[in-house]
Structure 1
Amino acid sequence: MALFLLKRFASLLITLAVASVVVFAVLALLPGNVAQVMLGESATPEAVAALEARLGLDRPAPARYLDWLRGLVTLDFGISHAYDSPIVELVAERLAVTLPLALLAMALTVVLALAAGLYAASRHNRAGDLGVMALSQLGIAVPSFWFGILLVMLFAVKLPWFPSGGFPGWSEDEGGGLWEGLRALALPAVALAVVQAAILARFTRSAVLDVLREDFVRTARAKGLSRRAVLWGHVLRNAMVPVLTVMGLQFANLVTGTVVIENVFSLPGLGRLIFQAIGNRDLPLVQALVMLIAATVITINFVVDVLYAVIDPRLKMVGR
């Protein structure tokens, strides 16, 4: 197990290093004058030169990359040009909205998808199976932002049970609190979860159907175990390896794909921050956010690899 984890961790570090090189090369070595792009065409040569010195653009690219990489390791992403404040503070403030939103949406996705997938597989080619597949196909076809607008019209305008947008904060001193924060994230989380749950339910159904054909399932039933016990205690565990792959990709999509939903619901998360950074031509902030997104996806894939070994110990032997 230790060797398996060591190999996966080494692969994680190498992938992160390659991603950092790509992000730096794409955003920092673009043709043209970066400082001129950030300040606009009307900027004076003196202002451009001052910004170049402030950002270190007058130094060689390898030296700038090493400084930027050192800042990433020490969580010192630099100063935002548009906000004139440390980037790490901006990211931490927005993560307090985006991360709970992604976790809430993922929890709803897993609960809905596993229940629907198991239900459909246990009633293969019957009315329940066909109904779940039809609903999942509809869920895949519906854009999350459009579904979010429908949720606002129904549950915020017609039935004022939830706020239509904005975020009151997690602190009661700010006029919010835990309950008010969860109410503000409820509709966006549902809008995100419906599409992801539809996709995951279809994968769960296919994986469960494959496992149901195995000999050990018939043996478990012959020993007197109920169908429910076999499904939840034996079949689901063996079907989770391919399902975990989709879960990992979906959580990465939920963290990085909240851009549109956060704008629909006016949530001050990373999605809106990315839009604002691009609109403000704040390239240091854009660079840090892109690297954060890449690191999130890579780390989630590493966690999924580790969970593979926990669920199916045979994979540890293959990795040796």
Structure 2
Amino acid sequence: MSLFLLKRFVSFVATLLAASVVVFAVLEILPGNAAEVRLGPTATPEQVAALSAQLGLDRPAFARYVEWVGGYLRGDLGVSVAYDTPVWSLIAERLRVSLPLALLAMGLTVAVALSLGVYAAARHNRLGDVGVMTLSQLGLAIPNFWLAIVLILVFAVHLQWFPAGGFPGWTDDEGGSLWDGLQALMLPAVALAAVQAAILARFTRSAVLDTLREDYVRTARAKGLSRRATLWRHVLRNAMIPVITIMGLQFGNLLTSAIVVENVFVLPGIGRLVFQAIANRDLAVVRDVIMLLAGAVILINFIVDLLYAWIDPRLKGGDA
């Protein structure tokens, strides 16, 4: 087990390092810099050079990369050029919206997809199976930003059950409450979860059907265990390994997909921060947010690897 964890941890660190190099290099090769955007088109070359030196943009790329990684490890992400505010405080403020939104969307995805996937597998080639597969195909075909607009028209404009956009905050001091915050995030979460639930339901169905053909399932049924008990006690756990892989990828995808949906619902999350930073050529914010999202995806995959070992003890061996 220790060797399994060590190998996964080394892979986790190496992937993080590689992602940091790619993120830094890609933003380095873009034309222009923050000094030119901050001073505007009327600035002289001398003024741009002076501000670039003040911001440290005239230093070698490798030195700036090392400083950036070191700052990340210390929790010092620098100062936003556009907002003149520490980048970490900007990100932390926006994560108070984006992270609950992704968690709520993931919860809806898992609850709906596992239920429908198991239901469809238990009724293979029957009406229930066909119905679930049809719904999942529709879910795959609908863009989440279009679904977001439809949800606003139906549930916010016509029925007025949920707000059409904006975020009131989580506390009374911010002008809202926990319930108000959840209401503001419900429609965006549904818009995000619809596509992901369609994907996960299909994978769950396939994994359950494959597991139902195993010998130990037939043995359990021969011993008198009911079909429902066999599904939930034996089949689902063994079918979860490929399903968890998709779930891990989907949570990372929800964090990135939220960028578009947050702008549709005018939510002050990471998505709007990225759009504003790109418009202002605030590369410090763009770089740190992208690295944060990449790190979150890599961390989720690392956690998924650990869950593999918990679900399937055979993976704990030295050859895993």
Moved more, 130-139 or 225-234: 225-234
**In structure 2, C-alpha distance between the alignment counterparts of 1:54 and 1:133, rounded to whole Å:** 59
Partner amino acid, structure 1, of 2:240: M
- 1:186-201 equivalences in 2 (<5 Å): 186-201=186-201
1:277-306 Cα offsets, whole Å, 9 max, x none, are: 001111111111111111111111111111
Alignment check: 8 A CA contact 2:38 2:82 kept: no
Deviation of 1:228 (Å): 1.1
Aligned position for 2:93: 93
Alignment of 1:166-185 (within 5 A): 166-185=166-185
Q: Structure 2 unaligned segments of length 5 or more: list them.
A: none
For structure 1, list consecutive stretches of 5 or more residues without a partner in the other structure: none
Return the letter of the residue paired with 2:253: N
Percent identity, aligned pairs only, is 69
Provide the secondary structure at the position in 2 that maps to 1:257: helix
Counterpart of 1:111 in structure 2 is 111
The one-letter code of the counterpart of 1:207 is A
Give, in whole Å, the separation in 1 of the partners of 2:269 and 2:35: 26
The one-letter amino acid paired with 1:287 is R
Alignment partner of 1:21 is 2:21: yes
SS at 2:233 equivalent: helix
Q: Is 2:75 the counterpart of 1:75? A: yes
Aligned partner of residue 317 in structure 2, secondary structure? helix
CA distance in 2, matches of 1:141, 1:221: 38
Alignment partners' CA distance in 2, 1:215 and 1:224: 15
Contact 1:117 1:205 in 2 (8 A): yes
| 8 A contact 1:28–1:34 mirrored in 2 | no
State the Cα distance separating 1:30 from its structure 2 match.
Answer: 3.9
SS of the aligned residue for 1:224 comes to coil
Q: How far apart are 1:47 and its partner, in Å?
A: 3.0
Cα separation, partners in 2 of 1:185 and 1:31, compared to 1, 3 Å: closer
**CA-CA distance at 1:167 after TM superposition:** 0.4
Amino acid aligned to 1:65 = Y
Give the equivalent residue in structure 2 for 1:125: 125
Counterpart of 1:285 in structure 2 is 285
CA distance in 2, matches of 1:198, 1:121: 14
Amino acid at match of 2:190: V
In structure 2, the residue matched to 1:311 is 311
What is the match of residue 208 of structure 1?
208
d(CA) in 1 for partners of 2:269, 2:278: 15
Separation in structure 2 between the aligned mates of residue 54 and residue 105 of structure 1, nearest angstrom: 43
Offset of residue 268 of structure 1: 0.3
- The equivalent of 1:163 in structure 2 is 163
After TM superposition, give the deviation of residue 6 of structure 1 in Å.
Answer: 1.4
Deviations 1:35-71 (A, max 9, x none): 3355443322243123212321122222111111111
In structure 2, the CA distance between the partners of 1:160 and 1:32, relative to structure 1 (3 Å rule), is closer
Q: Does residue 1:153 correspond to 2:143, yes or no?
A: no
Q: CA deviation at 1:29?
A: 4.4
* TM-superposed deviation, 1:249: 0.7
The more displaced of 6-15 and 129-138 is 6-15
Question: Matches of 1:165 and 1:30 in 2, distance apart?
Answer: 34
Contact 2:121 2:129 in 1 (8 A): yes
Q: CA deviation at 1:151?
A: 1.0
Contact 1:156 1:163 in 2 (8 A): yes
- Partner Cα separation in structure 2 for residue 274 and residue 92 of structure 1: 13
The AA in structure 2 aligned to 1:232 is W
The residue that corresponds to 1:144 in the other structure is: 144
TM-align CA RMSD: 1.4
Partner of 2:50: 50
Alignment partners' CA distance in 2, 1:290 and 1:153: 32
Moved over 6 A (4+): none
Deviation at 1:161, TM superposition (A): 1.1
Aligned-residue offset at 1:31: 5.2
SS in 1 for 2:82: coil
Per-residue displacement from partner, 1:173-207 (whole Å, max 9, x unpaired)? 11111111000000100111111000100000000
Alpha-carbon distance in 2 for matches of 1:253, 1:60: 34
The TM-score, its normalising length taken from structure 1, stands at: 0.96
Alpha carbons of 1:175 and 1:234: their partners in 2 closer, same or farther (altered >3 Å)? same
CA distance in 2, matches of 1:155, 1:298: 36
Q: What is the Cα deviation at residue 208 of structure 1?
A: 0.3
Cα distance in 2 for partners of 1:63, 1:149 equals 46
Task: Indicate if the aligned counterparts of 1:38 and 1:283 stay in contact, CA closer than 8 A.
Answer: no
Paired positions, count: 320
TM-score, normalised relative to structure 2: 0.96
What CA deviation, in whole Å up to 9, does each residue of 1:98-144 have, x standing for no partner?
00000000000000000000000000000000000000000110111
CA–CA distance in structure 2, aligned partners of residues 224 and 308 of structure 1: 29
Residues 241/38 of structure 1: CA separation in 2 closer, same or farther (3 Å cut): farther
Change beyond 3 A, Cα 1:52–1:319: farther
